[in-house]
Structure 1
Amino acid sequence: MVDTEPGWMKYQREVARFFTDLGMEALVDQKVDGARTSHDVDVLVRGSYVGFDIKWIVECKAWKSRVPKEKVFALRQIVDDVGADRGFIMAESGYQTGAFEAALLSNVTLTSVADLTERLRYDLAITKLMKLEHRADEARVRYWGLSKNVRIEAGLRPESGDGGYSGTSVIAGVDSVLREIRLRGFPVVYDPIMATLASYGGRYWRDPEGGGISFDSPEALYIFLDAELTELESKLDRAHET
C-alpha cells in the first residue's frame, strides 16, 4: 500500500508522540483561542511536567531549509496571546542565526526531536518508570485474587519453606525501588528479598556488600523492571486462564 500521508503531517505526529511518551496530552492541528484572536497550532501540549501543570505550543517545520527568525517572532506572539507557558519550534533542518537571536531571553525553544529527546531523556525515562507503579498495583490485585494452591501451581510462589520464584517479591521490589528513586534518586538498588521483608514489617536495612542489583540510570532500570513485570504478568495470565 502506497503511503500518501504528507511529510509535514508525519512530522507533526512524530512530535506529538514524543510528548505523549512523556506522559502529556499532545493534540495535533488545534485551534487555540487567545486574548486577541484564535490561532491554528501544529501541536498543543497539556499536562504535568516535573510537577507543574503546563500548556505548550509546538510548531513543526518539516523543511529542508533552516527556519528564519520571522517564525520565532510569530510563535512568541502566539505564546503570549494564548497564555502558554512555553513555545517550541521543532525542525530537523536547523535554524538561521537570526532565529537563535530572536529566541534569546524568551520562552521559545528552538530544537529538534533528536535534540529534545537527548535533553529530556532522563525525564522521559523517569516518567516511564513511574508508569510501572500502576502495573505493579494491577499485578498485586490479580496475584491476591488467586488461591494459594493456584499460585503455587502457576509458579507464582514456592511451596512454604522452599525457595524459588515469588510474585510478591517482584511486586515489593518494584514498589520499593520506585519509592527510593522518589526519595533519593540514583544510584539505586533493586533488592526484592529485602523489600519483601520490609513489606511484612521487617526493618528495611541493606548491607552495602549484600544482595540486590545496582542501577545508575533510569533507562537501565526501566528495561530491567519492565522485563520483571512482563514475566510476572505472563504467569498471572496463565494462572487466570486455568
Structure 2
Amino acid sequence: MNQRKEWEEYQIKVSEVLAEFGFATEVEEAIEGARGRHEVDVTARIRYAGVDQLWIVECKRWKRPVPKERVLAFASIIDDVGADRGLIFAEGGFQAGAVRASRNSSITLTNLTDFISNSANELSSIKVSGLTRRIAELENRFHSIWDLDAAERTRVNSRYIGPESFGLKQPIAVMACLSMLKNSLEAASFNRWPVPYRPLVLQQDFAV
C-alpha cells in the first residue's frame, strides 16, 4: 500500500477543515484561467446570499517560511481564474516580504491552527462580500427602471410588491432599504454594534 507523503496529507487536512465549515472542496483541481490552466492544491466553493464564492488554496508543508515571490505568483493565479479569495496555509510561517505582499489583497496567510480559531471571521467576510454584491445588483436593477419608456415603467411599477414608502407602494422605498443595508454592513465590518436592520417579508421576488 502506498503511503501518502506529508504534503499530500496536509492538503487533505486543509480540505477537510474547510469542508467542516460548509465548503465543497476538491484536492488538486485543474482550473482554466484566462491565460492558462492551473493546478490548484485545494479549491473551496460555497454559496452565500445567492452568490457563489470560489476560494483557491495553496498548501505549503514547508519547514522554511514562504517567500514574497510565492505570494505574488499566487496572486497572479487568483486574478487569472477569477477567484474571490486565496489562502496560503503554511506551517513554517511567512517571510516579512510575503506578509507585506498580502496586505490590501484578497490573500489570507495562515496555518491550520490559526484558521480554525479565526474561521468565523473569514466566513463573516464572505457573507458581507456576498451581500454587498447583491445590494449593487439591486441598485443597478432599480436604476434600470428609469431607462424604460413611460408606459413600460408604469407597467413595471404596477408589479411592485416591496416595502412601502410613507404608506405608499413605491419602488423608491427599495433605495431607502438598500441604503440602510449598506450602512449596517459598514457598521458591522468596523465592529460598531448594535447594527440596525429592517426585516422584509415579501410574497415573491420583485423582478424588472
**Same fold flag (TM > 0.5):** yes
Q: Which residue of 1 aligns with 2:91?
A: 92
> What letter is aligned with 1:8?
W
| Residue number in structure 2 paired with 1:110 | 109
Secondary structure of 2:31's aligned partner = strand
Measure how far apart 1:4 and its partner are. Answer: 2.0
Change (3 A) 1:62 1:50: farther
Give the equivalent residue in structure 2 for 1:218.
Answer: none
With over 3 angstroms needed to count, the CA separation of the structure-2 counterparts of 1:50 and 1:11, relative to structure 1, is: farther
Query: Using the alignment, how far apart are the partners of 1:4 and 1:36 within structure 2?
Result: 35
What displacement does 1:103 show? Answer: 0.5
Q: Does 1:5 align with 2:9?
A: no
Q: Distance in 2 between matches of 1:123 and 1:35?
A: 27
In 2, the alpha carbon distance for the partners of 1:85 and 1:20 equals: 17
Using the aligned pairs only, state the percent identity: 44
For residues 71 and 50 of structure 1, do their structure 2 counterparts lie closer, same or farther at Cα, with a shift above 3 Å needed? farther
TM-score, scaled to structure 2:
0.56
SS of corresponding position for 2:94: coil
Task: Supply the RMSD in Å over aligned alpha carbons.
Answer: 2.0
Q: 1:66 to 1:122 in 2, by over 3 A?
A: closer
Q: Which residue in 2 is equivalent to 1:32?
A: 31
Question: 2:120 & 2:84 partners in 1: Cα distance?
Answer: 21
Alignment TM-score, normalising by the size of structure 1: 0.48
Return the alpha-carbon distance in structure 1 between the equivalents of residues 49 and 107 of structure 2. Answer: 18
Distance 1:73 1:85, change over 3 A: same
Asked if residue 70 in structure 1 is aligned to residue 69 in structure 2, the reply is yes
Count of equivalent residues? 123
Give 1:53 shift.
2.2
**CA–CA distance in structure 2, aligned partners of residues 120 and 3 of structure 1:** 33
Which secondary structure state, in structure 2, belongs to the residue aligned with residue 120 of structure 1?
helix
Aligned mates of 1:108, 1:123 — CA distance in 2: 11
Tell me the distance in 2 between the aligned counterparts of 1:35 and 1:68.
26
Alpha carbons 1:67, 1:95 under 8 Å: kept: yes
Task: Give the superposition deviation at 1:3.
Answer: 7.5
Shift of 1:5: 1.1
Specify whether residues 6 and 81 from structure 1 end up closer, same or farther in structure 2 by C-alpha distance, changes over 3 A only.
same
The aligned counterpart of 1:60 is 59
Superposed structure 1 runs of 4+ greater than 2 Å apart: 48-53, 121-124
Q: Which whole-Å deviations, capped at 9, do the CAs of 1:107-145 have from their partners, x for residues lacking one?
A: 111011111111114788xxxxxxxxxxxxxxxxxxxxx
Which segments of 5 or more consecutive residues in structure 1 lack a partner in the other structure? 125-242
Question: How many Å separate the matches in 2 of 1:123 and 1:114?
Answer: 14
Tell me, yes or no, if the aligned pair for 1:22 and 1:123 is still in contact at 8 Å.
Answer: no
